């Protein structure tokens, strides 16, 4: 029995080491991708396939299989599958595009430095970067805002410190939950 316990302990240690190593590898891969949108799971590309069930067949003799799937359904089914090779190409294209953008920005920055406008160019670049990296479009229908005033029933997100909670903690201590 003790031998079995020892083997089980050894197996759990190995599994924990592999899990820590895989987590570290995935963090390195996410950092290396630099927000290109490429999601990898242990070196394999994640592919989402959406399959819609065919509607129930009616008892009419004139119905043909072509009538069961509309052209809109075919479009949705064909766009739901993404080939892993296309994802590799997209990732390579994104890296190339970001490199070209960066080199273009560096070129403009060097020109701005020569014209004694380096600091102005840097500040404007920072402002444009902030603007283009924030969402300016409308939010999704059921998306929760970080500002509770914009949510239904003024619901706040998890982890928000509300005045009522702060007051309770001041009066009764942080250990009490009421």
Per domain, the residue ranges of the chain are 74-137, 138-173
Q: Compare 166 and 65 and report the one with higher pLDDT.
A: 166
Q: List % helix, strand, coil for the chain (3-state, nearest 5).
A: 60, 0, 40
CA of 40: how far to CAs of 18, 24, 50, 85, 110, in Å? 17, 13, 19, 13, 36
How far are the Cα atoms of 26, 33, 64, 99, 124 from residue 39, in angstroms, in the given order?
10, 9, 41, 20, 32
Res 37 pLDDT > 70: no
- Over residues 119-136, the mean pLDDT reads 91
Using left for φ > 0, alpha for ψ between -120 and 50, and beta otherwise, residue 37 falls in: left
Beta strands (DSSP E) in 29-123 are 40-41, 44-45
28-56 average pLDDT score: 57
pLDDT in tens, 13-23: 999 999 998 88
Confidence class for position 121, pLDDT limits 50, 70, 90: very high
Higher pLDDT, 99 or 84: 99
DSSP conformation letters of 108-133: HHHHHHHTT-HHHHHHHHHHHHHHHT
DSSP 100: H
pLDDT tier at 46 (50, 70, 90 boundaries)? low
- Give the Cα separation of 68 and 71 in Å (integer): 10
């Amino acid at each position: 029995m003790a031998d079995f316990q020892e083997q089980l302990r050894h197996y759990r240690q190995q599994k924990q080491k592999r899990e820590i190593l895989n987590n570290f590898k995935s963090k390195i891969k996410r950092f290396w991708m630099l927000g290109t949108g490429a999601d990898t799971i242990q070196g394999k590309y994640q592919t989402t396939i959406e399959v819609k069930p065919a509607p129930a067949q009616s008892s009419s003799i004139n119905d043909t299989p072509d009538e069961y799937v509309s052209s809109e359904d075919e479009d949705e089914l064909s766009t739901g599958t993404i080939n892993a090779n296309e994802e590799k190409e997209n990732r390579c294209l994104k890296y190339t595009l970001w490199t070209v953008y960066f080199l273009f920005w560096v070129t403009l920055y060097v020109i701005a430095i020569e014209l004694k406008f380096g600091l102005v160019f840097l500040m404007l670049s920072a402002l444009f970067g902030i603007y283009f990296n924030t969402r300016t479009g409308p939010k999704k229908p059921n998306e929760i805002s970080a500002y509770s005033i914009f949510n239904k029933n003024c619901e706040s997100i998890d982890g928000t410190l509300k005045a009522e909670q702060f007051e309770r903690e001041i009066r009764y201590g942080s250990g009490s939950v009421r």
